[in-house]
Amino acid sequence: MLSVGVVGGTGYTGIELLRLLIMHPQVELKYVTSRSEAGTKVSDLFPNLREHTDIEFTVPDIDTLSECDIVFFATPNGTAMKMVPDLVAKGCRVIDLAADFRIKDQAVWEHWYGMDHACAELLSEAVYGLPEINREAVRDARIVANPGCYPTAVTLGFLPLIENGLVEDQHLIADAKSGISGAGRGANVAMLFSETNESFKPYGVAGHRHLPEIRQTLGNIAGHDVGLTFVPHLLPMIRGIEASLYAVLNSTGTDLHELYARRYAAEPFVDVLPEGSMPETRSVRGVNMCRISVFQPQGGDTVVVSSVIDNLVKGAAGQAIQNMNIMSRLPETEGLVHPALLP
């Protein structure tokens, strides 16, 4: 059994992580921390976990957390980087679901996140935890930077095209939409039901924190810097991301559906839909799956890719457990195979 700790188990990502870990047959959940909820039963805060766990929240402590094989951080940006050096020094492996280790360039990270990095010396060691491109590096990593939700959907959507040099990669467009849970569980007037219901709006058009992460990842795949216009939108639903991706083809002779089907044939959590099918966010609700369709409208030189994920699962907690499985030499699908929630 894997001994697991979770730092920061009170947000939407944290509760989704706990739900999935509790169902995992190879996990012993030893610690769940929260300074504000210390002493409270997790199931008292999250009644969906009643009769599934009796664990209580505790104050985060390096010595107790270091008893775990793996520690997850489901904390705000800037928290993990203060504790990770001590944990890895004690032999603990870490998966950070926030952004502390995603961007390799310290100056870029500090610009976008507005704070000094507390352990910049570990940025080069951290492995970007998108298994579809970094599976072997994840296997032996001490620190895994779990990707953001938008970057997961966008990268998986563009990946086969950029790997094969099939598109003009200086003018990529990602038009993405997310449910409200992507904004977190904190009180926020803009996220109230009466503020978001029956409305649809873009945000972060001038620059979203996931932009440098996506550019870094796509650039690593391409072997050079790429140009990307990324516009996120807020949808009046709880879960889900749909990313509509646009690029201009260098040539029009490739069977794009076959390209995608071949690239993802061995990937357990990427589903290339039949030609002409339209992905729906409801088809991935609650599961660690990315569903993709690729189109070439009117046979022209523009390719359109639609990629859908659950932002809390393949975009966060589920992908983190996928990485845990890889790091622990467990079957990659362990604890993660179940149908989506409908309706």
Please report the pLDDT score of residue 190 as a whole number.
73
340/172 Cα distance (integer angstroms): 31
Burial class (CB in 10 A: 0-12, 13-18, 19+), 325: buried
Please report the pLDDT score of residue 195 as a whole number.
84
Please report the pLDDT score of residue 187 as a whole number.
67
CB 81 within 8 Å of CB 118 = yes
- Burial string for 109-131 (b: 16+ CB within 10 Å, else e) reads beebbeeebebeebbeebbbbbb
Phi and psi torsions of 150, nearest 5°: -60, -45
Q: CB-hemisphere CA count at 13 Å for 305?
A: 29
The string of DSSP letters for 187-210 reads --GGGSHHHHTT--EE--TT--TH
Sheet holding 270-272, edge to edge: 201-202, 228-234, 172-178, 241-248, 302-309, 290-295, 270-272
- Residues 6 or more apart whose CB falls under 8 angstroms from that of 298 comprise none
Identify the active-site residue in 68, 92, 119, 149: 149
- Catalytic residue status for 290: no
Please report the pLDDT score of residue 290 as a whole number.
98
291/314 Cα distance (integer angstroms): 11
Residue 273 CA, distance from chain mean position: 21
Residue 156 CA, distance from chain mean position: 11
Answer left, alpha or beta for residue 165, where phi above 0 means left and psi between -120 and 50 means alpha.
left
CA distances from 216 to 64, 93, 208, 224, 322 (A): 35, 24, 14, 9, 22
Q: What six digits make up the tokens of 128?
A: 């970007």
Please report the pLDDT score of residue 151 as a whole number.
98
The per-type count for the chain, helices as H runs and strands as E runs, is 11, 14
Q: What six digits make up the tokens of 71?
A: 């520690």
Domains in the chain, CATH or no CATH each: 2-146+316-327 (3.40.50.720), 150-309 (3.30.360.10)
Q: List per-residue pLDDT tens for the chain, 343 residues long.
A: 999 999 998 999 999 999 999 999 999 999 999 999 999 999 999 999 999 999 999 999 999 999 999 999 999 999 999 999 999 999 999 999 999 999 999 999 999 999 999 999 999 999 999 999 999 999 999 999 999 999 999 999 999 999 999 999 999 999 999 999 887 777 677 777 778 888 889 999 999 999 999 999 999 999 999 999 999 999 999 999 999 999 999 988 899 999 999 999 999 999 999 999 999 999 999 999 999 999 999 989 999 999 999 999 999 999 999 999 999 999 999 999 999 999 8
Residues listed for the chain: 343
